[in-house]
Amino acid sequence: MKNTLLSGLAGLLFGAGLLVAGMTRPDKVVAFLDVSGDWDPSLAFVMIGAIAVHFVAYRFVPKLGSPFLGGRFALPTRRDVDARLLLGAALFGIGWGIGGYCPGPALVSVVNGTSDALVFFGGLVAGMLAFNVTERAAAPAE
């Protein structure tokens, strides 16, 4: 129960941070991505802050042994860049640019009941399901 409560509080804090930063406002995100038009650089500061926190935390995580709330860390081991990674990054960027949302802010906006976020999140779920179907179809038979 304690782990669930702490995890929920961490999620609420993350969601509040997304709201305060303006990441749940598609117009602000699209203005940030429009570098050749009326560019709004304010989200760059949010991203720089997130990158700085991650940069420091990533160096300490392996030294902890296990997460504070139990289980184990799932750190990436691959370092190569392949077609799947590039395609996935391109699809993520296209979706972010068209919809003005990435998954975290979309989920926060869904909770707020924002209609465009509901449409975006439906597309996100459909994309994840399509990925799972194609992965299973492409997997070698056991």
Instruction: Report pLDDT digits (tens) over 5-61.
Output: 998 898 899 889 888 888 888 888 888 888 898 889 988 898 899 899 999 988 888
Domain total for the chain?
A: 1
| pLDDT tens column, 55-110 | 998 888 878 888 877 788 887 888 999 998 999 899 888 888 888 888 888 888 89
Q: pTM for the complete prediction?
A: 0.72
Domain encompassing residue 115: 2-138
Measure the CA–CA gap between 9 and 1, rounded to whole angstroms. Answer: 12
Q: Are 117 and 96 in contact (CB under 8 A)?
A: no
Q: In this model, does residue 127 exceed pLDDT 80?
A: yes
